[in-house]
Amino acid sequence: MVEAGKHFSARASTLRSSKVRELLKWIGKDVISLGGGVPDPASFPMEEIKRIILDVIEDKGAAALQYAPTEGLDELRREIASFMTKRGVKAGEENVLVTSGSQEALELIARVFIDLGDPVVSENPTYLGAIQAFSVYEPRMVGIPMDEEGVRVDVLQKELRRFGGEGERVKLAYLIPTCQNPTGRTASLERRKVVLELAEEHDFLVVEDDPYSYFYLDGVEPPSLKSMDGGGRVIYVSTVSKILAPGLRLGWVVADEEIIEKLAIAKQSVTLQSPTLSMYVLLEALRRGLVERQLPRLKEIYRVRRDTMLEALEAYMPEGVRWTRPSGGMFVWVEAPERVDMDALLPVALREYKVAYVPGSSFHVDGGGRNTARLSFSYPPLDAIREGVARLARLIAEHAAPRACVLEA
């Protein structure tokens, strides 16, 4: 038999598997998973979606199963543009590309913008699906730390000046300004303004990844970068995975027409088009106001889940463990004491403590974060959230004690 391995491309040999996805495979029935960001299926408006699917099949017939344009159905692009306009983003049909989930959007953006060695800045930690998509095109990822007000624009500015001083230019900034994945943090209005000013000054584009602002939990969400974007520098990415249903595999990009056209050409050779039936379902869900009606429901569901996790952390975590208080999204970010290696502890957590999490190093662009973890509150029942956090607390407590030092000879 052939050894396939020796035929792989250099790229393939370095392809990193997502630890989140691998996790899903290891999990037995007795393990509580605080791993993947899987939405609560109780949030899916099943009866209304069922009604819509029936109507689509009845009204559209064969068209619902036929080829459709690479850019997405014209009517759907218009509906998405109007959905965005209601949220302060000026967009027409020509500014919208429908994608196969936001993952494909990130792949296409990477393909269209990143050359080998291009500096790309992001929050650190950041969404691992973006790290995976970008890394295929071999940029230099530069991580910018965050605090309670979001990305540290002072550090960003310093990095931009450093690159400028070396005659180089940052190509893209990849940011999740609202309810960031993995930290749940939200950038303040002031920070948002500075990011856009820096983009003008240093001539880079901003990819705004925005899956979570639609069910922001702490009052009125700050405006999207795209809604503040006077210079056409923001490429906005979102998805129906968290606000309607992930199995439809639909996301969208809003950007200048020239960018949308180039992304569409790239999409021809990746998936040709997004699933037609799903597109008609989303079209009707938008037309009937179903997506809008979903948002208050989502807020209710995820507020209770978030608060349950935060209370459990408060109740169970040992001294020396810190965590974020997310303004929405699906995740809490946990920092254990420096000497606790959450990567190394994962198999122990699964086997002995029967709890799963995603090691925080997966979200780092600089190899750091081995004492961190991302916990998801989106999927387990509330009791399981409490018990999962309790188990994790025991794991950390029992591995955080300083070890006896052996003096090397």
Residues 249-278 that bind a second copy (CB under 8 A): 249, 255-256, 258-259, 262, 265-266, 268-278
Sole binder of a second copy in the list 26, 27, 63, 168 (CB under 8 A): 63
**Between residues 97 and 255, which has the closer beta carbon with respect to a second copy?**
255
Residue with tokens 């965005």: 84
**Between residues 122 and 274, which has the closer beta carbon with respect to a second copy?**
274
Does 62 participate in binding a second copy (rule CB under 8 A)? yes
Interatomic CA distance for residues 183 and 80, integer angstroms? 28
Instruction: Please give the residues from 84 up to 143 whose contact with a second copy meets the rule CB under 8 A.
Output: 100-101, 103-104, 106-107, 111-115, 118, 129, 132-133, 136-137
**Between residues 113 and 316, which has the closer beta carbon with respect to a second copy?**
113
Instruction: Please give the residues from 276 up to 315 whose contact with a second copy meets the rule CB under 8 A.
Output: 276-278
Does 70 participate in binding a second copy (rule CB under 8 A)? yes
- Closest distance of CB 135 from a second copy, Å: 8
**Between residues 136 and 397, which has the closer beta carbon with respect to a second copy?**
136
- Closest distance of CB 149 from a second copy, Å: 26
Instruction: Please give the residues from 330 up to 369 whose contact with a second copy meets the rule CB under 8 A.
Output: none
Residue of 254, 253, 252, 249 lying closest to 281 (CA atoms): 249
- Closest distance of CB 316 from a second copy, Å: 28
Instruction: Please give the residues from 134 up to 193 whose contact with a second copy meets the rule CB under 8 A.
Output: 136-137, 171
Sole binder of a second copy in the list 31, 32, 33, 36 (CB under 8 A): 36
**Between residues 204 and 333, which has the closer beta carbon with respect to a second copy?**
204
Sole binder of a second copy in the list 31, 89, 160, 248 (CB under 8 A): 248
Please give, one letter per residue, the 3-state secondary structure of the chain: CCCHHHHCCHHHHHCCCCHHHHHHHHCCCCCEECCCCCCCHHHCCHHHHHHHHHHHHHHHHHHHHCCCCCCCCHHHHHHHHHHHHCCCCCCCHHHEEEECHHHHHHHHHHHHHCCCCCEEEEECCCCHHHHHHHHCCCCEEEEECEECCEECHHHHHHHHHHHHHCCCCCCEEEECCCCCCCCCCCCCHHHHHHHHHHHHHHCCEEEEECCCHHHCCCCCCCCCCHHHCCCCCEEEEEECCCCCCHHHCCEEEECCHHHHHHHHHHHHCCCCCCCHHHHHHHHHHHHCCHHHHHHHHHHHHHHHHHHHHHHHHHHHCCCCCEECCCCCCCEEEEECCCCCCHHHHHHHHHHHHCEECEEHHHHCCCCCCCCEEEEECCCCCHHHHHHHHHHHHHHHHHHHCCCCCCCCC
Sole binder of a second copy in the list 23, 68, 253, 395 (CB under 8 A): 68
Does 66 participate in binding a second copy (rule CB under 8 A)? yes
Stretch that binds a second copy, among 18-26, 209-217, 363-371, 387-395 (CB under 8 A): 18-26
Sole binder of a second copy in the list 18, 82, 85, 157 (CB under 8 A): 18
Residue with tokens 């992930």: 246
Does 5 participate in binding a second copy (rule CB under 8 A)? yes
Instruction: Please give the residues from 218 up to 237 whose contact with a second copy meets the rule CB under 8 A.
Output: 231-233
Sole binder of a second copy in the list 217, 245, 342, 346 (CB under 8 A): 245
- Closest distance of CB 236 from a second copy, Å: 14
Sole binder of a second copy in the list 26, 27, 38, 387 (CB under 8 A): 38
